[in-house]
Amino acid sequence: MERERSAAAWLAARLAAGPPLLLDGALGTELERRGVDCTLPLWSAHALLGAPDLVRAIHREYAAAGAEVLTANTFRTQRRTLRHAGLGPRAAELTTRAVSLAREAADAAARAGAPRRILVAGSVAPLEDCWHPERVPDDEALAREHAEHARHLAEAGADLLLVETMNTAREAAAAARAARATGLPTWVGFTCAPGARLLSGESLADALAALRPIAPQAVLVNCLAVADVPACLPVLAASGLPFGASPNLGPTRGAPDRAGSEGPDAGGEAAGGAGPACGAEASPERFAEAVAAWRAAGARILGGCCGTGPAHVRALARRLAA
């Protein structure tokens, strides 16, 4: 409990002053890049079963690159997803394992003399498909299942809960409500189409208004193309909350297809990464140049999503330090 209070106070202070807080980059596409099976329905959760040491190693690389928040590999450890693979009863176990791997990496960085504090975020993803808002479950299922996942994350020792890649205001509000009920700091991220609109067609402004009574600590956009972020920044700023962005680098092998294909070639829904490719911005330096520029618009949280790796975070850290 003392650690949780300390983490919450540190986060509040960190978001209020100093350079933007640096998130890590992708985990699922980084695991794929290193040869891990990330097929559906488990996506990156496969690695919790077959390659936990690699998960820990990638977290450590992000910490060494300068990340201040390591996102635990819990994007697909909800009971609903695990049930599709016959692993539903292991939801709490695998969620705990994922948080522990990130915590071990953060602790190792501290022992090695990291010059900054590193927190662990528990990922809270859509219960169904990131790119298919029509598949969002009914309100009762949203409340029940997000509450269970948030509880597992809190009991596992996450410092904050990162509700991410939300495609409807309804599910974002349900997940945020469940996360806030744990007492942990809660951030809420949306994936958007061009024009600052959710994939459901709702405006980002309306989605943020729906969150106002829930009072998350921060709001973001994530897993959208770099080129689509600038239109979202003034909308995020108008919320009055600390805000940020962690864009992707366009389609990669195994990333979802926004056109709706979920076959093995498209890779299906699981972790984000679809959208227009970013061209030269895919290089770490060009990516960092684009993302670091958003601090001029007031962004307080910056990082990367699908397709980014430790090199992108390291380049961004250098830009922010400069």
The pLDDT of residue 282 is 81
Instruction: Provide the token pair at 211.
Output: 């969150």
| Containing structural domain, residue 307 | 2-321
Q: What number is the average pLDDT over the span 22-28?
A: 97
State what percent of residues in the chain have pLDDT above 90. Answer: 85
Contact 101, 72 (CB under 8 A): yes
Confidence of residue 56 (pLDDT cuts 50, 70, 90): very high
* 175-196 pLDDT, tens digit each: 999 999 999 999 999 999 999 9
Whether pLDDT at 265 is above 60: no
Tell which wins on pLDDT, 308 or 280: 308
d(CA 289, CA 310): 15
Confidence band, pLDDT 50/70/90 cuts, at residue 115: confident
Is residue 197 pLDDT above 90, yes or no? yes
Please tell me the distance from the alpha carbon of residue 131 to that of residue 167, in angstroms, as a whole number: 7
pLDDT at 272: 34
Residue with tokens 């990162």: 162
pLDDT score at 142: 98
The mean per-residue pLDDT over the stretch 297-313 comes to: 97
CA distance 158 to 74: 11
Question: Tell me, what's the pLDDT at 5?
Answer: 65
The helix (H) or strand (E) run that includes residue 243 is strand 243-248
Q: Which residue did the predictor score with more confidence, 280 or 3?
A: 3
pLDDT band, residue 23 (cuts 50/70/90) = very high
Which structure tokens are listed for 73? Answer: 């590999």
Task: State the residue for tokens 């695990």.
Answer: 82
The Cα 168–Cα 287 span in angstroms is 27
pTM above 0.85, yes or no: yes
What are the CA-CA distances from residue 227 to residues 85, 182, 248, 317 (Å)? 36, 35, 10, 20
Q: DSSP assignment, residue 34?
A: T
User: In the predicted model, what is the mean pLDDT of the chain?
Assistant: 90
CATH number at residue 188: 3.20.20.330
Give the pLDDT confidence score for residue 7 in this predicted structure. Answer: 87
CA distance 226 to 215: 27
Based on C-alpha coordinates, what's the Rg of the chain?
17
Domain count, the chain: 1
Q: Which one is predicted more confidently, 3 or 285?
A: 285
* CA angle (165 as vertex; 41, 77 as ends), nearest 5: 40
Helix (H) or strand (E) holding 163: strand 160-166
Q: What is the pLDDT of residues 29-43, one digit of tens each?
A: 999 999 999 998 999
Average pLDDT of span 111-140: 94
The band of 322, judged by pLDDT with boundaries at 50, 70 and 90, is: confident
